[in-house]
Structure formats: structure tokens, C-alpha cells
A and B are shown apart, each in its own frame.
Chain A
Amino acid sequence: MTTAQEAPYAPEHSPRLHWAEHAPEVYKAMVRLDAAARRGLDPTLLQLVKIRASQLNHCAFCIDMHTKDALAAGESVERIIQLGAWEESRHFYTEKELAAIELTEAITVLTDGFVPDEVYDRAAAQFEEAELTQLIAAITVINAWNRFGVSTRMVPGHYKAGQHK
């Protein structure tokens, strides 16, 4: 037994603000938006998109939630771990999933400049128009949850799979 193993973890932080209690109408609209945006999308693909956007936006609460939901739905540990380096582990994913992940990155990192034509075209080759616009909406919605999670410093670690379905 080394001292490193005995050393306690850092203390858990508190959230900055219980935003949903202070803005219940905003929260209700978010829940409706989430439900509307996921319609017509493959749930397996949707979880990959949600995890990748949450990684890019550094939303600890969202990563905790969506990795647990993905695992509970039967997603593999390998595919979740490799998401952080998907460009070098393309053979873990389908071409459709890769196009969706790439679009997720472009739409998430908007401040670096637009959604490139190549990225959009690759997604448009894999998704028909209505499904593609649902994917855009779903990427937007996880970005929104990420913004609430990070701004108000929501605490990860307590989510139980399926809790917010």
C-alpha cells in the first residue's frame, strides 16, 4: 500500500447556482427542445454526439451523465474512450457516426469560424435532409446543456443512468 493510494480525493465543489429552480420556464423549454431535437435520430449515434460535444465544452456533469447513459444502453467502453481521439481511431466507428462526430466538432467550436463545406458535405452524404437538420438541432441542444452545466458548475458523479430520460 502506497501513500498515494491512501491520499484522499480533492473535496467536491458546490454548484454556483441552481439555475433550473431560478428559471423554471427556461428549464421547461430546454426539456421540450431536447425532446424535439432527438426525434428521428439513432440513440446510439446521439450519445456519441453528446459525449463528444461535452468533452469539447468541458462539461463534467454532462460527461458523467452521457457516458453512464451510453454504457447503460450497451455502448462499448472502447468506443467511449476513443471518442477523444476519434480521428486516429476511425475503425471504431461507422462512416455515418464519423460524419456526425465531425459535424459536432464544427458546430461546437463555432467561434473559430463557421462550419466548413467539406464537413457539412460529408454529413449531407450520410444523412438525408430532415435527419441532418435534426442532427444539427441535437448538436445545438447538447451545446446548450453544456452551457448551463459549465456556467453554473453542476456537480458530476451523482447521476444514475436513465435518470433524465
Chain B
Amino acid sequence: MTVRTRVLDRGVGQALSSLSAAAKKGLGDPALAELVVIRASQLNHCAFCLDMHLAVARELGVSEGKLDLLAAWEEAEGVFDERERAALALTEAVTVLTEGFVPDPVYARAAEHFDDVPLAHLIGLITAINNWNRVMVSRRIEPGGYRP
């Protein structure tokens, strides 16, 4: 597996970073943000993003138990609380759009746990990591490059 290209327009890179930063700040929950970002990166198979965000999550003190079971969060009820589960369900729906919309129950469940402002930023964060997943997978950027 070799990298296809490392080229990324500087303006594009900066705007991608601003978008992620603005979304994360508005959500106001760095540990939850990492769970969301890692789950989307699993669905989009982004090796670089997984490597990076698993490291970030560990720096933030997210438990190994959560990281281990994140790919099967629906079957791991005792490990994730209701707010985390609502955010993860929304993450999956917004990430897998090609199979059809964001279902009302998924949206309603998220809206129950997040007010409008954090919810808008949560949607922004899910979108922002989907962006990174796309630019990294398309260019086949290899994992292991992230340094805290």
C-alpha cells in the first residue's frame, strides 16, 4: 500500500481544520467528540484517522473499555451512557447517507439529549470527520503519522 498523493491545497486544509475546531468547540465535550470521530472513521475505513483519534482519545483519558467496544456500541449498553448512544446513533446515520436519510427516531433521540446549539455542532463534527475521512482515504494517507 503506497500513498497516492500527499498534495492538499493549503486553503482547503486550513478550512477543514477550522471546521473541525469550530464544531468541537461548540459541542463542548472533547471525550464524546473523540468517540464520534472514531466511530465515523471506523465506518469510512480511514486508517490514518483511526490511528490519530485513538491516540487523542487515550490522551484525553477515554477508557480502553469504551474504545474496545465502540464498533459494537449498540450491544454494549452498560459501557456507553444514553447521551453517548444517541450521539453514536446519529453519527452512523449521518455517515451512511447513501442508504437513505437520517431516520426520525435517530434524530429525535439526539434532540432529546442535545439542545439546538450542541446538536448543530454535533452534526458539524460528524460532517467534519467525514471530510477528513474522505481526503485521507482518497489519497491513501498511511496511518502512523500522527504525533501528539
Answer yes or no: do A and B interact. Answer: yes
Interface size on B, residues (CB 8 A): 50
Residues of B within 8 A of A132 (CB): 5
Best-buried of A23, A113, A130, A148 by chain B (most CB within 10 Å): A23
Contact of B101 among A29, A103, A150 (CB under 8 A): A150
Residues 22-76 of A at the B interface (beta carbon under 8 Å): 22-23, 25-26, 28-30, 32-33, 35-37, 39, 56-59
B130 to A144, Cβ gap below 8 A? Answer: yes
Of all chain B residues, which has the CB nearest A119?
B138
In the assembled complex, A107 has its CB within 8 A of some CB on chain B: yes
A130 to B134, Cβ gap below 8 A? Answer: no
Which secondary structure dominates where chain B touches chain A? helix
25 contacts between A and B (CB under 8 A): A16-B107, A16-B111, A19-B123, A22-B117, A29-B22, A33-B16, A33-B19, A35-B11, A36-B15, A37-B9, A39-B11, A106-B138, A110-B44, A110-B137, A124-B4, A133-B7, A136-B139, A137-B8, A137-B9, A147-B97, A147-B127, A147-B130, A151-B90, A151-B93, A152-B120
B residues near A (Cβ < 8 Å) are 4-5, 7-9, 11-12, 14-16, 18-19, 22-23, 25-26, 43-45, 90, 93-98, 100-102, 107, 111, 116-117, 119-121, 123-124, 126-128, 130-131, 133-135, 137-140
